[in-house]
Structure 1
Amino acid sequence: MSKGQFYQKVVVITGGCAGIGRALALRFAHAGARIAILDIQDETLVAFRQQLTDKVNAEVLALHCDVANERQCEEAICQVIEHYGGIDVLINNAGITQRSLFAETDLAVFRRIMDVNYFGALHCTHFALDSILQRRGQIIVLSSLSGFAPMLYRSAYNASKHALHGLFETLRMEVQERGVNVMLVTPGFTATDIRKNALVGDGSISGQSVAPSFKVSSPTDVADDIYHGACKRKRLMILSNVNWRAQLFARLFPRAFERWMVPRLSGVKPADRSS
Structure 2
Amino acid sequence: MQRVIRKVFVSKVFERKVVMITGACAGIGRALALRFAQAGARLVLLDQDGPALDSLVQHLRDHLNAESLALCCDVADAECVQASVTRAIEQFGGIDVLINNAGITHRSAFADTDLAVFRRVMAVNYFGALHCTQAALPSLRARRGQIIVLSSLSGFAPMLHRSAYNASKHALHGLFESLRLELEGSGVNVMLVCPGFTATDIRKNALKGDGSVIARPIPLVGKVSSAHDTAEAIYRAARRRKRLLVHSNVNWLARQLARFAPALFERWLVPRLSGVRVGQ
TM above 0.5, yes or no, is yes
- Does structure 1 residue 137 correspond to structure 2 residue 127? no
Q: 2:54 & 2:146 partners in 1: Cα distance?
A: 26
- Does structure 1 residue 112 correspond to structure 2 residue 96? no
Deviations 1:199-223 (A, max 9, x none): 1110001132222221100000000
Contact 2:73 2:81 in 1 (8 A): yes
Question: What count of residue pairs does the alignment treat as equivalent?
Answer: 271
Q: 1:246 & 1:93 partners in 2: Cα distance?
A: 22
Equivalent position of 1:260 in the other structure: 268
Q: 1:182 aligns with which of 172, 190, 195?
A: 190
Equivalent position of 1:56 in the other structure: 64
Q: 1:8 & 1:245 partners in 2: Cα distance?
A: 38
Q: 2:163 aligns with which of 145, 155, 167?
A: 155
User: What letter is aligned with 1:101?
Assistant: A
Q: Could you say if the C-alpha distance between residues 165 and 247 of structure 1 is closer, same or farther in structure 2, counting changes exceeding 3 Å?
A: closer
User: What letter is aligned with 1:162?
Assistant: H
Q: 2:254 & 2:147 partners in 1: Cα distance?
A: 29
Deviations 1:39-97 (A, max 9, x none): 00000000110000000000010000000111110110100000000000000000000
User: What letter is aligned with 1:226?
Assistant: I
Q: Percent identity?
A: 65
Q: 2:109 & 2:269 partners in 1: Cα distance?
A: 18
Equivalent position of 1:210 in the other structure: 218
Matched position secondary structure for 1:128: helix
Matched position secondary structure for 1:194: helix
Equivalent position of 2:89 in the other structure: 81
Q: How big is the shift at 1:245?
A: 4.1
Normalising by the residue count of structure 1, what TM-score does the alignment of the two structures yield? 0.95
Q: 1:176 & 1:94 partners in 2: Cα distance?
A: 26
- Does structure 1 residue 124 correspond to structure 2 residue 158? no
- Structure 1: which 5+ runs fail to align? none
User: What letter is aligned with 2:135?
Assistant: F
Contact 2:75 2:81 in 1 (8 A): yes
Contact 2:71 2:84 in 1 (8 A): yes
Equivalent position of 2:73 in the other structure: 65
Q: Could you say if the C-alpha distance between residues 243 and 17 of structure 1 is closer, same or farther in structure 2, counting changes exceeding 3 Å?
A: closer
Contact 1:212 1:264 in 2 (8 A): no
Equivalent position of 2:28 in the other structure: 20
Deviations 1:1-26 (A, max 9, x none): x9520000000000000000000000
User: What letter is aligned with 1:58?
Assistant: A
Equivalent residue runs for 1:197-236 within 5 Å:
197-236=205-244
Equivalent position of 2:3 in the other structure: none
Matched position secondary structure for 2:99: strand
Q: 1:146 aligns with which of 151, 154, 161?
A: 154
Q: Could you say if the C-alpha distance between residues 243 and 106 of structure 1 is closer, same or farther in structure 2, counting changes exceeding 3 Å?
A: closer
Q: 2:45 & 2:205 partners in 1: Cα distance?
A: 20
- Does structure 1 residue 32 correspond to structure 2 residue 40? yes
